[in-house]
Amino acid sequence: MNIRPIHSDADYRTTLTEVSRLVDLDPPLGSPDGDKLEILATLLEAYEAEQYPASLPDPVEAIQSIMEAQGLRPVDMTAYFGSASKASEVLNRSRRLSLAMIRKLHQGLGLPLAILIQDSRLTRILDR
C-alpha cells in the first residue's frame, strides 16, 4: 500500500485494513512497518476528526454522570448550585447554569469548562 491522504470512505476502509494488518505484526518502533503504522494512524486520526467530530456531552448529563460516579445526590450539590431547589431545577433543565455555578462545578468537581458553558448565554457572550 502506498501512503496517501484519505479522501473517501473507501480510502478510510483501505487504510483501516492496512493498519489492522500492521498492528497484528506488532512491528518495532522505528522499523519501516513501525513508521508506516505511525503515519497511517496519524492519517486515520485526522480523517476521523474531520468526518466524525466528537461532540461534547450535554452539561446536565455530565453533571449527573459525575454525581453517579461519586454517589452524590441533588441535596449534596447545594455547594455548587446555591440551594437544593436550584440543584433540582438545573438537573431537571428548568434553570440554566449561572456563571457562579459553572465556576464552582469546574473547581469543585473538575468538570471541563467547555462542557459546562455549552448552550448557555455565557457561550454567546464568549463567542463575540
Give the residue extent of every domain in the chain. Answer: 9-51, 59-126
Number of H helices, E strands in the chain: 8, 0
Nearest to 108 by CA among 78, 88, 75, 68: 78
- To the question of pTM greater than 0.75 for the whole model, the response is no
Per-residue pLDDT of the chain (128 residues), as tens digits, is 589 999 999 999 999 999 989 988 889 989 999 999 999 999 998 998 888 887 888 999 999 999 999 999 999 999 999 999 999 999 999 999 998 999 999 999 999 988 998 754 444 444 44
> Thinking of the domain 59-126, which architecture would CATH place it in?
Orthogonal Bundle (1.10)
